[in-house]
Amino acid sequence: MIPLAELLAASATLHRHLCPRQVLGVRMGMLAGRLLGLDLPQADTQPGGPSAGKRLLTIVETDGCASDGIAVATNCWVGRRTMRVKDFGKVAATFVDTQTGRAVRIVPRRESRELARRYAPEAKGKWEAQLLGYQRMPDEELFRVRRVALTVSIDQILSRPGAKAICGICGEEIVNEREIMHDGTTLCRACAGQSYYRPALDIPVPATPARPADISIGKAAPAATGVSAPY
Ligand SMILES: [Zn+2]
Ligand SMILES: [Zn+2]
């Protein structure tokens, strides 16, 4: 297990500062490893199977500082499809062992804010008391933990990353099996009425600057061919 101080340093580098919520996040991730018996942060790759290095799935209930701490402590990331954000506006997270189906939800105790002062008597204010106190408090005083059962199956959450469909209304591509069938028509969630936006007006895309900056991909930047690569 990587020590707390080391994980906090990594989180602070990513986040450009250290704050109490990152400490909570890192400690939530570390505790999840102990509860599920997983060696966290999980390795980037593990031998065997397409799910190598993706055994732990973390569902965070808010974006922001805590989620950075959790990501560093677990090595779960949105870009790897091992972290999902369900924005309930709570510093809370559920950690799912996708191999066994076991899931634990961890949330800081409401009293922990006040308790932190006792563990950091030298702190000059509330913020510093939490920053230091959260690093020193025992898990059992800091967190409440519950075993939970997911309401959506792990298979549905993970889905098939290669799957593709086309929305019968807007014509946009839908990946990861997120389409909805309605009266025999394939729909994206937006067209099915779950949209977070209302389309107002198509606007012209501004022309690309004459000489776009070279972007190196991997080791060598591709030579300019005049042919635009597919995205
Ligand atoms: Zn922060
Ligand atoms: Zn659509």
Please give the distance, rounded to the nearest whole angstrom, from the Cα atom of residue 68 to the centre of ligand 1.
8
Q: Predicted confidence band at 110 (pLDDT cuts at 50, 70, 90)? A: very high
Q: Predicted confidence band at 215 (pLDDT cuts at 50, 70, 90)? A: low
Kindly identify the ligand whose nearest atom is closest to the C-alpha of 195.
Answer: 2
Which of 218 and 8 is assigned the larger pLDDT?
A: 8
Kindly identify the ligand whose nearest atom is closest to the C-alpha of 18.
Answer: 1
103-108 and 93-97: which strand pairing? antiparallel
* 78-98 confidence digits (pLDDT tens): 999 999 999 999 999 999 999
Please give the distance, rounded to the nearest whole angstrom, from the Cα atom of residue 144 to the centre of ligand 1.
22
Res 230: pLDDT: 41
CATH code at 4-157? 3.30.1330.130
Q: What CA–CA distance (Å, rounded) separates 104 from 147?
A: 5
Which of 166 and 161 is assigned the larger pLDDT?
A: 166
pLDDT value at 213 more than 90? no
Neighbours of ion ligand 2 (CB under 5 A): 167, 169-170, 188, 191
Kindly identify the ligand whose nearest atom is closest to the C-alpha of 172.
Answer: 2
Please give the distance, rounded to the nearest whole angstrom, from the Cα atom of residue 19 to the centre of ligand 1.
5
Please give the distance, rounded to the nearest whole angstrom, from the Cα atom of residue 130 to the centre of ligand 1.
12
Please give the distance, rounded to the nearest whole angstrom, from the Cα atom of residue 227 to the centre of ligand 1.
43
* 128-152 confidence digits (pLDDT tens): 999 999 999 999 999 999 999 999 9
> Which residues in the chain belong to E strands, given as ranges?
56-60, 83-85, 93-97, 103-108, 143-147, 164-166, 173-175, 180-182, 185-187
Please give the distance, rounded to the nearest whole angstrom, from the Cα atom of residue 184 to the centre of ligand 2.
14
CATH code at 159-194? 3.30.60
Count CA within 13 A, CB hemisphere, residue 92.
16
Q: Predicted confidence band at 191 (pLDDT cuts at 50, 70, 90)? A: very high
Q: What is the mean pLDDT of the chain?
A: 90
Q: Predicted confidence band at 160 (pLDDT cuts at 50, 70, 90)? A: confident
Kindly identify the ligand whose nearest atom is closest to the C-alpha of 127.
Answer: 1
Please give the distance, rounded to the nearest whole angstrom, from the Cα atom of residue 10 to the centre of ligand 2.
40
Q: Predicted confidence band at 229 (pLDDT cuts at 50, 70, 90)? A: very low
Alpha-carbon torsion 189, 194, 197, 201, what sign?
positive
Domain ranges in the chain?
Answer: 4-157, 159-194
Q: Predicted confidence band at 221 (pLDDT cuts at 50, 70, 90)? A: very low
Q: What CA–CA distance (Å, rounded) separates 8 from 23?
A: 7
Q: Predicted confidence band at 169 (pLDDT cuts at 50, 70, 90)? A: very high
Please give the distance, rounded to the nearest whole angstrom, from the Cα atom of residue 24 to the centre of ligand 2.
39
Kindly identify the ligand whose nearest atom is closest to the C-alpha of 65.
Answer: 1
Which of 77 and 48 is assigned the larger pLDDT?
A: 77
Please give the distance, rounded to the nearest whole angstrom, from the Cα atom of residue 20 to the centre of ligand 1.
7
Res 1: pLDDT: 82
Determine the residue type at 149: A
Burial of residue 103 (number of CB atoms within 10 Å: 0-12, 13-18, 19+): buried
pLDDT value at 50 more than 60? no
